[in-house]
Amino acid sequence: MQISRRNFLKVAGVAGVSAMIPARMASCGITSEDRSDKKLQKIYEEAYKKHAQKFNMCGYAAPKLETVRIGFVGVGSRGSAAVERISYIEGVKIMAICDVLPEHAQKAKERIQTPGHPAIIYSDKEDAWMEMCRREDIDLIYVGTPWELHAPIGIYSMKHGKHVALEIPAATSVEDCWKLVETSEDTKKHCVILENCCYDFFELLTLNLARNGFFGEIVHAEGGYIHEIGESLFFRGKPGRSWRLKENMSRNGNLYPTHGLGPVAQIMNINRGNRMEYMVSMSSDDFLMNKYAKELSQEEDYFKQFEGATFRGNMNNSIIKTVKGQTILIQHDITTPRPYSRLHTISGTKATAQKYPLPPRLSMAEDHKEWLFEEKFREIEMEYNPPIIKKMEDIAKEIGGHGGMDFLMDWRLIDCLRNGLPVDMDVYDAASWSVIGPLSEWSVANRSAPVDIPDFTNGAWKTNRPHDITLTEGGTTGVVI
């Protein structure tokens, strides 16, 4: 009799599986004293909780908002840049700015570029964001805090009648992914993941090419986040506030999957006629982080606390299988000395696209051994560049944010809310893209065992239809420069 992955775990028990974990295996956030099968079991069981969909948020168009009144929570580097970008967009009013550090809130307020924004500062206590979220004159909460706060703030905001936009990842646990889904369905409030890479120009081009059949059937895709910030992790924030360092010390897996996965998921119509079924994940050992800690401790006693700590493996490879039989490779590495890459490879039966390590390239089946010459590439680009790029590229590049994709993401979100359109990235995307993080931890801790990916749509993916994010609707929101 053939035993499925899930039935095997029911029969053998997660404890039996994890008993095979060698002592050297990274702990997935579990201390050496409590390498508990209990925590691993919780991760797995949370993934498969029963969920009856109360309302399908895919394709849902909330009532139009003539003016989108916004409150920001967390305005460090990324959050304060968002305040500035959004202040250029017509039909918004920045009502409030919240940060635990008053100087951050004040600097963010000073970055507002247009008049008419009250931008009241909330910074007098740790839970000041709750007071801000309870205000009745705010429509959207924009969250740029450390990762572990994204889901709690998002859930609280939706329960208090607000749409929410969450920086990536939207959640760091399977349980919080489910809570986001259930809360969005309960409240009929949008929960948007702020995945800016979905709005990079080549990613939008390849999405439009895929929608027009250019690639034929898509067989395989790759995405990732390879960005060497290694030693600088120890300097992020003030002592005691290095949250990203803490994430890399307490969790071992693909902690930042959505930059590479988001554009690929849209191209493969994930949650809209297709879904991710299961995955495996493997991490290398740590060859660098402990070395950095040791070197820094020679210069400053503060860093001695990190000597001998267990850090996440430097390179993580996670491989996903879709119900349509396609594969997706997602990589994560922020420590080894390599050029920046998000991989972004689309391989189909008729054509291939690849952006890294080379500049954007296309290859077609009739001459698949070579990339197209620049002239032919530009012809295809001119024909298939979607309307959103043709309309907004110059403005987006002028205002900026990672070459313009940050502004394009913000503008598109506001335009959807003002025109009563479905958002491009709904709560099911936020949950399914983000859940790869904790599920990769489970797989890594279980000798790269396969783990099923939850269906956050409760089967609705079979009838959900892709909606066109290339600007066939909307596009009426202006920009003030």
The pLDDT tens digits of the residues spanning 377-436 come to: 999 999 999 999 999 999 999 999 999 999 999 999 999 999 999 999 999 999 999 999
For all residues of the chain together, what is the average pLDDT? 88
Element (H, E) at 329: strand 327-333
* Beta-sheet pairing, 163-166 with 191-193: parallel
Lowest mean pLDDT among 26-35, 221-230, 356-365: 26-35
For residue 27, pLDDT over 70 is answered with: no
Nearest to 171 by CA among 258, 106, 45: 258
For residue 12, pLDDT over 70 is answered with: no
pLDDT of residue 69: 98
Counting Cβ atoms within 10 Å, is residue 450 exposed (0-12), middle (13-18) or buried (19+)? middle
* Beta-sheet pairing, 140-143 with 163-166: parallel
Q: What share of the chain is helix, strand, coil (3-state, %, to 5)?
A: 40, 15, 40
Q: Which residues, including other chains, have CB under 8 Å from residue 295's CB and lie 6 or more apart?
A: none
For residue 353, pLDDT over 60 is answered with: yes
pLDDT of residue 1: 32
> Average pLDDT, stretch 156-170?
98
| Cα distance between residue 469 and residue 457, in whole Å | 20
Residue range(s) occupied by CATH 3.30.360.10 in the chain: 198-388+427-462
149 near 74, Cβ under 8 Å? yes
Phi–psi pair at 119, nearest 5 degrees: 45, 55
In words, the CATH class of domain 198-388+427-462 is alpha beta
| Cα distance between residue 23 and residue 44, in whole Å | 21
Nearest to 335 by CA among 255, 446, 449: 255
For residue 25, pLDDT over 70 is answered with: no
Q: How confident is the model at residue 240 (pLDDT cuts 50, 70, 90)?
A: low
pLDDT of residue 205: 96
For residue 20, pLDDT over 60 is answered with: no
In angstroms, how far is CA 331 from the centroid of its own chain?
14
Sheet holding 163-166, edge to edge: 120-122, 92-98, 68-73, 140-143, 163-166, 191-193
Q: Which residues, including other chains, have CB under 8 Å from residue 430's CB and lie 6 or more apart?
A: 166, 170, 171, 177, 180, 191, 192, 193
| Cα distance between residue 419 and residue 471, in whole Å | 12
> Average pLDDT, stretch 167-171?
97
Q: What is the pLDDT of residues 276-334, one digit of tens each?
A: 999 999 999 999 988 888 888 888 888 888 887 888 899 999 999 999 999 999 999 99
Residue range(s) occupied by CATH 3.40.50.720 in the chain: 68-195
pLDDT of residue 35: 36
Question: Which tokens is 29 given?
Answer: 């956030």
pLDDT of residue 292: 85
Superfamily of domain 68-195: NAD(P)-binding Rossmann-like Domain (3.40.50.720)
pLDDT of residue 21: 30
| Cα distance between residue 297 and residue 234, in whole Å | 11
